[in-house]
């Protein structure tokens, strides 16, 4: 199955700094989604970006998509301790197949 791969695996920053996570994937996609998971909890959908979009914003989140490089980035600006979580990208390709998730980036925001 095609799969997004996040980079870095883990990231530790100070509160107030920006956090950038990257996702690379292997085959053509229809859209790419980002999710957040707090420890021991379910995933929460953050943002969906379609293959014909280059950038999307939601509050302090900014997502970019470069289909020529098969990559996406998630930027969290002015991070807070509450942003501490794992972040996953998920991709969907053709047909009606379910989302395929990467292994995630563990973000720690230190107060």
| Interaction site with another protein (CB under 8 A) | 1, 3, 30-31, 33, 35, 40-45, 48, 88, 90-93, 95-104
Shortest approach of another protein to residue 55 CB, angstroms? 18
Write the DSSP string, 11-35: EEEETTS-EEEEEE-SS--SEEEEE
Closer Cβ to another protein, 15 or 31, answer by number:
31
Shortest approach of another protein to residue 16 CB, angstroms? 28
Structural tokens at position 14: 């100070």
Closer Cβ to another protein, 15 or 99, answer by number:
99
């Amino acid at each position: 199955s095609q799969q997004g791969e996040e980079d870095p695996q883990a990231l530790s920053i100070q509160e107030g700094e920006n956090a950038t996570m990257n996702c690379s994937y292997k085959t053509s996609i229809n859209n790419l989604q980002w999710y957040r998971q707090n420890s021991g909890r379910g995933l929460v959908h953050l943002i969906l970006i379609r293959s014909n979009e280059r950038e999307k914003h939601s509050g302090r989140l900014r997502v970019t998509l470069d289909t020529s490089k098969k990559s996406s980035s998630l930027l969290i600006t002015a991070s807070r301790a509450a942003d501490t979580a794992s972040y996953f990208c998920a991709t969907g390709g053709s047909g009606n197949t379910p989302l395929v998730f990467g292994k995630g980036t563990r973000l720690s925001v230190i107060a």
